[in-house]
Amino acid sequence: MPKWLCDTCSFMVETEGKTPPPAEGMKPTPWDLPESWACPICGSAREALSPLDPAELLTRAACNRYK
């Protein structure tokens, strides 16, 4: 399941993975979330989500552990 991170508040969302590849120069958007979706923490639209690479998730977890 792909993970997405809110660019505004770092809230993490898991989706079903039905997102097609983005057009050239465009940011990917999780299409399996409704257009009216808003981040439950900060209220940002789904366009504020960025794909989270599993390796990055491990790096973030390690960094947060030693704060």
Could you tell me the residue ranges of all domains in the chain?
A: 3-65
* Segment 30-51, tens digit of pLDDT: 778 888 999 999 999 988 988 8
Residue 25 vs residue 61, higher pLDDT: 25
Closest among 37, 35, 66 to 13, alpha carbons compared: 37
Question: What residue type is 57 in one-letter code?
Answer: L
May I ask the CATH class of domain 3-65?
mainly beta
Q: Is the pTM of this model over 0.75?
A: no
- State the average pLDDT over residues 46-60: 77
Condensed to tens digits (0 to 9), the pLDDT of residues 12-30 reads 888 877 665 666 666 667 7
Burial of 7-44, coded b for 16+ CB within 10 Å and e otherwise, reads eeeebebebeeebeeeeeeeeebbeebeeeeebeeeeb
Q: Mean of the pLDDT values across residues 50-64?
A: 69
| Strands ordered across the beta sheet of 49-52 | 12-14, 3-6, 49-52
